[in-house]
Amino acid sequence: MRLTALACLVAGAISMNATAAEPEAMNEDPYLWLENVEGDEALDWVRARNAVSEKQLAGDPGFEQVRKDILDILDSDARIPYVSKRGEYYYNFWRDKQNPQGVWRRTTLDEYRKQNPKWEVLLDIDALGKAEGVNWVWGGYDCLRPDYDRCLVELSRGGADATVTREFDVSEKAFVEGGFSRPEAKGNVSWIDIDTVYVSTDFGDGSLTDSGYPRLVKEWKRGTPMAEAKLVYEGEKTDIAIGAFHDDTPGWERDFVYRGLTFYTNELYLRKDDGELAKLDLPDGAQKGVYREWLTVELRQPWELGDQTHPAGSLLAINFDDFMKGARDFEVVFAPTENSSLASSGATKDYYFINVLEDVKNRIYVLTPDEDGWKREPLVGAPEFGTVSISAVDADESNAYFMTVADYLTPTSLLLGEIGGKPEVLKQLPAFFDASPYRIEQHFATSKDGTRVPYFMVSEKALELDADNPTLLYGYGGFEVSLTPNYSASVGKNWLSAGGVYVVANIRGGGEYGPRWHQAALRENRNKAYEDFAAVAQDLIARKVTRPERLGIQGGSNGGLLMGNMTVMYPELFGAVVCQVPLLDMYRYDKLLAGASWVAEYGDPDVPADWAFLRKYSPYQNVKKGVDYPPVLFTTSTRDDRVHPGHARKMMARMMEQGHDVTYYENIEGGHGGAANNAQSAYMGALAYTFLKQQLFKGK
C-alpha cells in the first residue's frame, strides 16, 4: 500500500478599478438569494431557466441522436470493466442500461480473461435505492485483509461528496446488522482490524474545518457508539482536513495520522503503539509516501539538504526506519528537467516504478534499489506515444502490473504484465468511431511572456487551413492537473465525425511540467493561465485552423473559472463557451461549500492585498453590460457540494439581466461531476454538443 499524507482528502488582460469593484462585491449583490441551494425561490428560478434551455437545445432536431450516441457508448457492454485485486478475486463497479446506478461485482482472473466473464454480483445499487427510497450513488469500498470478507462501503445521495459508510459482509452479500455505520457527512472510515476503525467525520458543532471537512479523527471500537470513539488527533479549524490510516502491508504494519494544512501543505505523523505521535521531519509542501521499508518524498518546493539542494518536482527515497532514527541520506529517484516531470509513482513487490511526462508524453521506468543506488530502466512493452498509466496488481505478493494505454484516436487497452516480461492485452475498447481520417499533432503557442505552451490538435488529415473549421478548445489549468491524450468516443462520435477540430491546451496551472508549471499560475499570477489559453486560441487563428466565429471553448470546475475569464477578458476570440460546474464569484468562493480549501490556489478575498489581484479574474465582478460577449452555456448541479451551484446561477442571472446571450441548465442531481448516472451524463453531454454545433456550425 502506497500512502500519502493527503490520500483521503478531497481530488489578466483586463483590469478593474478597486473603488468600483469592492462596493458591488461586498454590498450590492442582488443575487445572493440564488446561493440558497434548495430554496423554493431559487429552484423555481432554476426550473424556469431549464425549461428555456431544454426547448432551445433538447428541442433541436439533432439532440436526440447525440444523446443516444453518448448513452450507447456509456452503456456499452464492450467497455473495459476495470478491476482491483483483493485476495483471489478481481472487483469491479459497473453501470449499464440494465443497471443505471450500477452493481458492485467480482470474478476470478481466469474468468476475467474471457470475452464475457461470469460475474458474482455483491451489491445492486439500483435495487438498494429502490428499497430504501434514496437515489444512492456508489462511492467506493475498503476491504479488510487478509480475507477481504468485510468491507466498508461508501454511498452518496445523488452523487454528492458527502457520503454514508456501512459495513458489508461479502460472503452474505449484505450489510452487517449493528456493524460500523457512519451517517452522511464528508469524511472517511478505514480499517485497523476487524473490531477497530479510524473515523473522521462530522461529530457535531466545531468538528469540521472551515472547508467543511473533518477536523477530528478518532479510533472507533465495534459495538460502541461513534460518539464515544477515542480521540486520536484534533486539528485546527483553519486546516483543510484531518484523518488517519493503518498501513496493513504484511511485515511493515504501521499507523499514520495526516493533517492537511492547506491544499498543498500537510503534516504526517507516525502513530506508535502507545498512541504517541511522532511527526515526520519533512517539508510541509512535500507529498509523503510509505511503502514497505521505504519512505518517499515528492517535493513541491526546493529542499536544501546538507550541501545539496533538490529542485521542486524531485522524488527522493530513504529507508523509513533509518529516517526515523535520524538518517537523511536520500536517494534521488527522479529529478525533473526542462521538459520532463513526474506524473506518478508506485511499487510492486520487488520494484519501484515512475511515470514521467516528457513534453506531455508518458514514459514508464522501472527502478531497482541496490547498494549502488536505484538502477533505472524503461518498462518493457510500454508504448512510445499516448497516455500510459501503470498500477500494481497485488503489490505485496507479486511484480504483476496493470497498464492502460490510449490516445485521442486509439481505443483504450488494458494490459497485464510482469516486470521484466512483455505485457499481454487483457481488454481493449472497441472503436466507437472511424479514426482513420484523423491525425494527432502537437503544437506550441507562445504566451504573452514568451513561454512555449504545448497543445494537442486532433483533425482530419486533409484539413484545409482556410480559417473555417469549427474548433473546440478544451482547458483546465489548475491544481497541478495534467491533460494528456485520452480516447474519447464521445468527442470522436459527436465532434470529429461532424467535421470539427478538437484541441486540448496544456496551459500553466496544470502539472504537465511539474510544480513549476503549476506554481507559475498561482494566486497573483493566475493571469498566466489565461494568457496561455488565449495564446493557443490566437495560434489556431494565426495558423488559419479556425476563426473566432468558429472557435468554441469548454471547461469545468476550475476549468469553468477559466471559461468565465476567457469570456470577459477575451470575448473577441470566441464564438461559443461551455462553462460547466464553475467557480465564478471569487469574492465569495471561500465561503461556499469546499471553497475555503482552495485559498492556497487562488488567494483569500478577505485579505485586501489578495482581493486586489483576485478581483481581476473574478468573472462575476468583471462582466459588463454593453460588451459583445460570445454566447455562453452554463451547466451545474444542485447536488454539487464541492463547487456551489450559486456561482453558475448568479453569473447567469447577471448576464441575462445585462442582455447577453446566455443559456443555463442545472441538473437537480449529479454532484460535482454534473451527473449521477449514465443517462444524466448523456443528457448533459448532448446539451453541450448541441449548443456548440448551433453556434459554431452556422452556415456550414
Give domain status of residue 258, yes or no: no
Tell me the pLDDT tens digit for each residue of 188-244. Answer: 999 999 999 999 999 999 999 999 999 999 999 999 999 999 999 999 999 999 999
pLDDT of 19 strictly over 80 = no
Regarding whether 556 and 507 lie in a shared domain, the answer is yes
Instruction: Taking residues 46-63, report their average pLDDT.
Output: 96
Q: What's the mean per-residue pLDDT of the chain?
A: 93
pLDDT of 520 strictly over 90 = yes
Instruction: Indicate the pLDDT class of residue 11, thresholds 50, 70 and 90.
Output: very low
**pLDDT score at 27:** 55
**pLDDT score at 1:** 38
Query: What is the domain extent for residue 383?
Result: 341-429
Regarding whether 581 and 523 lie in a shared domain, the answer is yes
Regarding whether 452 and 510 lie in a shared domain, the answer is yes
Tell me the pLDDT tens digit for each residue of 125-145. Answer: 999 999 999 999 999 999 999
pLDDT of 534 strictly over 50 = yes
**pLDDT score at 13:** 28
> Phi first, then psi: what are they for 475, rounded to 5°?
-155, 165
**pLDDT score at 677:** 79
- Do 431 and 494 touch, CB atoms closer than 8 A? no
Regarding whether 661 and 548 lie in a shared domain, the answer is yes
Number of domains in the chain: 2
Q: Poorest-confidence range of 77-81, 297-301, 603-607, 654-658?
A: 77-81
- Write the CB contacts of 695 (distance below 8 Å, at least 6 apart in sequence): 552, 575, 576, 630, 631
Regarding whether 477 and 416 lie in a shared domain, the answer is no
Give domain status of residue 649, yes or no: yes
Calculate the dihedral angle through the C-alpha atoms of 618, 619, 621, 625, rounding to the nearest 10 degrees.
160
Instruction: Taking residues 463-492, report their average pLDDT.
Output: 96
Instruction: Taking residues 488-516, report their average pLDDT.
Output: 96
Domain holding 613: CATH number? 3.40.50.1820
Regarding whether 445 and 406 lie in a shared domain, the answer is no
Between 594 and 499, where is the model more confident?
Answer: 499
Q: Poorest-confidence range of 21-30, 375-384, 431-440, 629-638?
A: 21-30
pLDDT of 452 strictly over 80 = yes
**pLDDT score at 672:** 62
Catalytically active residues are 557, 672
DSSP 337: B
- The grid coordinates listed for 125 are 445499487
pLDDT of 373 strictly over 50 = yes
| Residue where a domain terminates, one of 388, 409, 429 | 429
| Residue where a domain terminates, one of 374, 403, 429 | 429
DSSP 479: T
- The grid coordinates listed for 361 are 508524453
pLDDT of 267 strictly over 50 = yes
Tell me the pLDDT tens digit for each residue of 163-173. Answer: 999 999 999 99
